[in-house]
Chain A
């Protein structure tokens, strides 16, 4: 029975950490254990047992975790020394070799290895809620109670004829359920069978208590759930004092064999039990039921959840994404879902609408996977920035309020109605305009050129054909533009204005072209435009844009001025430098001594150089002479004055000399 019950497809064991569901522990097929942080959706730890291939993990269970991070720390109060010696967040792993490993997620290493209990595959491990004990069951039909303080077997007993596939401890820790051929309830004090239940035809894969024990009577009124391989039912059993509890009280229908069950226990009698069951067919079902005795009709889920990939992007067919585990949050409102592949599960917190019975969540796993590559170490998430994100800069419609003047404010809503009306009008216009255009052609034969331009423009505007419009708008001839606009039929004016304002928002260069057209439109059709009721909203965008662009104009012109000044200055200094450089070269050549030195230094080139230098000399002298003569001619009068002065000086000089003497 066990063999056919043992799942043929490997279902990787996984479990959420209790209470706050902070972590999801997941053992993959290759025997490595991965712990995922559910809040940040990142890999928290990875652990590969040394014997992970020979002793693959078959089942896992979280031990009692720390509730909070030591609770809020006491402030300014002398704390009791070592009030707690450090919790370890233990995770018990049952292996195929029959050992049980205790892994501490706090230390990130193996804490203990429990050996010598089983000879065969461990099917289920369960923690005792209070004592330091752990229960495990195995294919060798035994249940072992481990004393964790010593790490030794405390008690071992044969529970069934065949393999024991599942265990469950009652919330108060007094009773133990085991499932082999039948489901047995054990009294843990005496290790005796307290009750027997029929069980399932196939191997039981899950057992779970549904309520806490009512305080009054013994074990009576205790409910538990069981699910089995290949069984599309979850059965609920009740412990009754009259012994009529051989058969299930009620059942929940599923779509496939259950692989993960999470249950929010009912604390009181009237409180409904909430149940989240993940089935093998990648569906998750939510049940809600108040447990009160027998119910013949199988209950159907209150809500079913599926996850699917978006089909539209790359691969055309949406495919279902497997759900691995689901858990109800503490407040019982939200749902924690783990889906995707076992290597990289996505953990999501969702709140489901109460009304819907079928929910399909469309999730792009690939995209979310690529987002989470580097996050583990750096702890930085980069939100997606796509190219199609809207960018609003000052001047674009939407950056500023569409209307400015208050009188139109009241017309905002009716305005939208008229806009819709104008589609009809526009249809009418479409009918009209070509006729007019044709008329124009018929009427004036002479200005054919411009007229055909107007026709072209009208056609372009109607069909919003960018090619035609580009052709038309690229003209730079003022006359042509004016004439075209003048001949434009009235109904085409508004579309033209809209088209122009749209094009204005584009490249600034195109704006230059568009302004000419706009000017022309305003000069010829101002009267028509002023009659329009929606004038402000139509031209508002244009106004905002021009304003925002003009706002920068002042600064830009200032910058331009500064830059111009700077550039011209630099150019000027460059020029003066180059002049100076020229002078310098001339001076260098003028130096006689240097040439003489060279003569002395080098014998061979002496003659040539001598000649050269002579030539230069002569030229220089010539220049000087001519310059002098020029100067002399030009400023002869001044020189005369100068000479006079010089004479005066010379008059004084002898005196000085005499004094010196």
Chain B
């Protein structure tokens, strides 16, 4: 996108975090999850986002830890690249360009230097045919490498990552699609295809939804559309496979996961209950109910102490292995559509919109963090598809934030509409909202709009309904001898020729009320409830309506469905100007005269900022996003900006946020703001120096003392046999490939001898190696690369024991001495 002038459209948080399975790091301290075209690293202890790995240009579709280095992570994206990151320091190490759209990523310990991805056949997603391929990652020191060596593994797999799983030690891969389970063994390259009958019984639906492989045994667990879980065994022998069925979920099993030791199987679905099945005795189950929303993904930490579930409401719950929720990472809850407007709570300056079903969420835009959900409906939400429940559809705050009006609706197909209007007061004493008045069925049909009167003297709420009425509610005295209280009651019901009332809006001083009835705008005096005048306009229903502010308070703006933006002068009661513009959203800045109008033309949205007194826009930006803008809101800034240039002055006092069609929250940022941010992001380098724990004091010190003693007395002590590389080799090599004992004898004896130069440095050396590795991780990516380069070669050598033993030994000695020589230099090198 071309940068236009000084103002840019930026994404401002609230991104999706539940798109793919989140993964734990090896030490369970961090949780990595995909979020749009980024990968976010969260701390599992504090729920705080520690790093954001940015670099992909399209949706990130999969992440997996590097099996050879647990401080690195691979990510794959729709942009056709696989990137290797160091997530502790937020460094992009390498980019592998594959050239296909990548839909899922798997790594396996058994397949060194190779990752598995799912790609669409012929790189065309429309074909709806996908295949699993292995990508050999070339070893090269370059930052950007083209990985072209693809080898085909499985054909016709599901594009969802949870439909493919790697088995014990990466020996086989299991993939499900439709009614088939396919198992592919890497060793003998055989494919087994197990199928289920389409519908053996009425009401049963056997379609596979997900698969998980047992980490230690040859067992595959599959989840099904009808809520059944099947455990497959003996699948490597044709016709002899067995499966057992377990049924708890009433609807589709969304995800399955084995714990790392394979003792438990976790499953979840729309019921939002995490079920823990004991492996081997599946009748024993543990449940963690009421997780809030349907479970989409489940993953476990490598050490098994934590589980995490991703939920459909953009939330990740971190659960301890004893099934207690320890943390909740909550993003902005975004449903399919947001029924309430975006609002700003005047009290906390938080963004308010629909949250969990039946709740309003308060979201801090400054810190990109959900503050809390306010339970409006106060009914237990039942997670079941096809159930109609109360939901908040409209809400409004008054200017001071002391009153909140909410509308909740429940509509079932054949029954009547149930509507409740609740008016809440913010009680300072209790620091919370308190219900003041509940009005059941305030209108006989859907409420289309509601707004508070802005003045201080009168508190009035106006609601308009599709029953052709608008009602004014006023705060009145409801005291009796027992208590003093206030409550809301209806003051006026207005109609106009039985037309549907669609919009309402108060003027800034509260002296006029504009109500839109389909094509006609009526202006009322809220004091006497006289109809002051009506405005008719070129035919077309009114979409938006608002009064001008401050110096433009004599204007009334309206937009119609047939692409007109009109401005009336209230003093002369005439049309001041009108523009043919397909405005989909009109938003007023509460702190200035500016009005933002979003228009949609040809799949792209444009923004026009103007003042009502002149039809010429103050600012114009085309192509702010794809699709039409859903909602928008102006938020007041804490500290006014000082933008001198004319085009960005409208952003000085408030900031404009909007929601795109894809439910991304975007904002406009000015150059000065960015400069300020980049200048302030000066970072502090502070050495991490965690003090020793009491456990270390007990054990570590003891061990260190022992080590010192060993070094002090020198040599006389025999090294532990395990310490020697040769012995290790000897013990690890399978017996049938070992040479004769006589041959080994010399080697063994040699290893027991104390070498002249090294003496007892061997264990130290190993330690140093470890340390240097750590340092390398922390210092810079260059060193990381070199180390990375060295390492695979090392492994390759180990994997190919083709050399004769003598040669090998010589080589080993050379290497050993080499290393000990190199080590000090290595450390000293700048």
A binds B: yes
A399 contacts the other chain (CB 8 A): yes
* Contact yes or no, B681 A69, CB < 8 A: no
Assuming the contacts A371-B430, A383-B375, asked whether A68 and B367 have C-beta atoms less than 8 A apart, the reply is yes
Interface residue A422 (Cβ < 8 Å from any Cβ of B):
no
Residues from chain A with Cβ under 8 Å of B693 in the complex: 50
**Using an 8 Å CB-CB cutoff, how does the interface string of B463-498 with A read, 1 for contact, 0 for none?**
000000001100010100001010111111100000
The answer to whether B45 and A397 touch across the interface, beta carbons within 8 angstroms, is no
| A39–B350 CB distance below 8 A | yes
User: Given A330-B638, A381-B372, are A109 and B45 also a contact pair (CB < 8 Å)?
Assistant: yes
A69 x B368 contact (CB < 8 A) = yes
- B639 CB within 8 Å of chain A: yes
Contact yes or no, B431 A70, CB < 8 A: no
Stretch at the interface among A99-107, A137-145, A242-250, A564-572: A99-107
Neighbour of B684 across the interface among A64, A69, A113, CB < 8 A: A64
Report the bound CA distance from A85 to B690 in whole Å. Answer: 19
Q: Is B686 an interface residue (CB 8 A)?
A: yes
A329 to B12, CA, bound (A): 23
Assess whether B338 is interfacial by the CB under 8 Å rule.
no
| Complex contact B688–A112 (CB within 8 A) | yes
Contact with A along B9-53 (1 / 0, CB 8 A): 111110000000000000001000000001000010110111110
Partner pick for A82 among B92, B359, B371, B429, CB 8 A cutoff: B92
Q: Would B429 and A402 count as touching, CB distance under 8 A?
A: no
Q: Mark B501-540, 1 if CB is under 8 A from A, else 0.
A: 0000000000000000000000000001100000000000
**Contact B677–A113 (Cβ < 8 Å):** no
> Nearest chain B CB to A643's CB is how many angstroms away?
55
Known: A83-B681, A86-B90. Is A41-B431 also a contact (CB below 8 A)? yes
Q: Judge whether A42 and B434 touch: CB under 8 Å.
A: no
C-alpha gap A454/B471 in the complex (Å): 41
Mark interface residues in A150-183 (1 if CB within 8 Å of B CB, else 0).
Answer: 1100000000000000000000000000000000
Decide: A400 and B437 in contact? CB cutoff 8 A.
no
Q: Which of A356-364, A492-500, A526-534 contacts B (4 or more CB under 8 A)?
A: A356-364
Measured in the bound complex, the distance between the Cα atoms of B349 and A330 in whole Å is 13
B490 touches A401 (CB 8 A): yes
Chain B residues in 8 Å Cβ range of A404? 493
Which of B263-271, B438-446, B574-582, B796-804 has 4 or more CB atoms under 8 Å from chain A? B438-446
Q: Is the CB of A148 within 8 A of B52?
A: no
Check B188 for interface membership: any CB of A closer than 8 A: no
Stretch of A190-198, A202-210, A271-279, A388-396 that contacts chain B:
A388-396
Contact A383 B435, CB 8 Å, known A82-B89, A394-B441: yes
A70 — nearest CB in chain B belongs to which residue? B52
Interface pair B638/A389, CB less than 8 Å apart: no
Taking the complex as formed, is B456 at the interface, i.e. its CB lies under 8 A from any CB of chain A? no
Instruction: Given A69-B369, A398-B490, check contact A108 B433 (CB 8 Å).
Output: no
Say if the beta carbon of A84 comes within 8 Å of chain B: yes
Chain B residue, CB-CB nearest to A398: B489
Q: A112 is contacted by which of B373, B489, B689 (Cβ under 8 Å)?
A: B689
Whether A86 lies near B435 (C-beta < 8 A) is no
Contact at A377–B328, with CB atoms within 8 Å? Answer: yes
A64, A75, A111, A398: the one contacting B9 at CB < 8 Å is A75
- Find out whether the CB atom of B683 lies under 8 angstroms from the CB atom of A84: yes
**B54 in the interface (beta carbon within 8 A):** yes
Q: Is the CB of A310 within 8 A of B429?
A: yes
Determine whether the beta carbon of B489 is less than 8 Å from that of A397. yes
Asked if A388 meets B372 with Cβ closer than 8 Å, knowing A67-B681, A85-B90, A363-B429, the reply is no
Set of chain A residues within 8 Å of B669, measured between Cβ atoms: 72
- Does chain A have a CB within 8 A of B571? no
Assuming the A-B contacts A72-B669, A113-B691, A381-B373, are A401 and B46 also in contact, with contact meaning beta carbons closer than 8 angstroms in the complex? no
B residues in contact with A87, CB < 8 Å: 683-684
Known A75-B9, A380-B359; judge A390-B488 contact (CB<8 A). yes
Cα separation A110 to B46 with both chains bound (whole Å):
12
Please encode chain A, from 346 to 387, with 1 for each CB lying within 8 Å of some chain B CB and 0 for all others. 101110000000000111100110010001011111111110
Is B687's CB under 8 angstroms from A364's CB? no
A364 surroundings in chain B (CB, below 8 A): 429-430
CB distance from B659 to the nearest CB of A (A): 15
Report the minimal beta-carbon distance from A105 to chain B, rounded to whole angstroms: 7
Chain A residues, Cβ within 8 Å of B6: none
B493 touches A107 (CB 8 A): no
CB distance from A405 to the nearest CB of B (A): 12
Give B487's nearest chain A residue, CB to CB.
Answer: A390
Contacting B at CB under 8 A, from A93-151, are: 102, 105-115, 130, 132, 148-151
Distance of B776 from chain A, by nearest CB (Å): 16
Contact A110 B691 (CB under 8 A): yes
User: Which residue on A lies nearest to B667, using beta carbons?
Assistant: A72
Q: Chain B residue with minimal CB distance to A394?
A: B441
CB nearest neighbor in B for A37: B371
A382 engages B638 (CB within 8 Å): no
| Residues A367 and B429 in contact, CB atoms below 8 Å apart | yes
Bound form: Cα–Cα A42–B347 in Å? 17
Task: Chain B residues near A105: list those with CB within 8 A.
Answer: 46, 48
A12 interfacial by beta-carbon distance below 8 Å: no
* Cα separation A517 to B434 with both chains bound (whole Å): 40
Q: Does chain A have a CB within 8 A of B428?
A: yes
Contact between A71 and B677, CB atoms less than 8 A apart: yes
- Return the contact of A132 from the options B43, B432, B433, B684 (Cβ within 8 A): B684
Contact assessment for A393 and B440 in the assembled complex, using a CB-CB cutoff below 8 Å = yes
Q: Which residues of A contact B412 (CB under 8 A)?
A: none
A73 to B54, Cβ gap below 8 A? yes
Q: Does chain B have a CB within 8 A of A303?
A: no
Across the two chains, which residue of chain A brings its CB closest to B493?
A401
Q: Please pick, from A69, A82, A106, the residue contacting B46 in the complex, using a CB distance under 8 A.
A: A106
Contact B432 A113 (CB under 8 A): no
CB-contact partner of A75 in B10, B356, B690, under 8 A? B10
Residue A76, interface by CB 8 Å:
yes
Give the distance in Å from the alpha carbon of A377 to the alpha carbon of B47 in the complex.
11
Pair B366/A68 contact, Cβ less than 8 Å: yes
Which of these, A106, A130, A148, A399, contacts B686 with CB under 8 Å?
A148
Produce 1/0 per residue, A38-78, CB < 8 A to B. Answer: 01111011000010000000000001101111111111101
Interface string of B768-779 (1 = CB under 8 A from A): 000000000000
Listed A/B pairs (30) with beta-carbon separation below 8 Å:
A45-B46, A69-B13, A69-B366, A71-B681, A74-B54, A75-B10, A76-B1, A78-B55, A86-B90, A105-B48, A108-B43, A109-B690, A110-B691, A112-B690, A132-B684, A151-B686, A346-B431, A362-B429, A377-B327, A380-B374, A380-B375, A383-B375, A388-B485, A390-B478, A393-B441, A398-B488, A398-B489, A399-B490, A400-B493, A404-B493
**Residues on A close to B: CB < 8 A?**
20, 22, 37, 39-42, 44-45, 50, 63-64, 66-76, 78-79, 81-88, 90, 102, 105-115, 130, 132, 148-151, 310, 329-331, 346, 348-350, 361-364, 367-368, 371, 375, 377-386, 388-394, 397-402, 404, 409-410
**Which A-B residue pairs are the 3 nearest by beta carbons?**
A398-B489, A108-B45, A108-B46
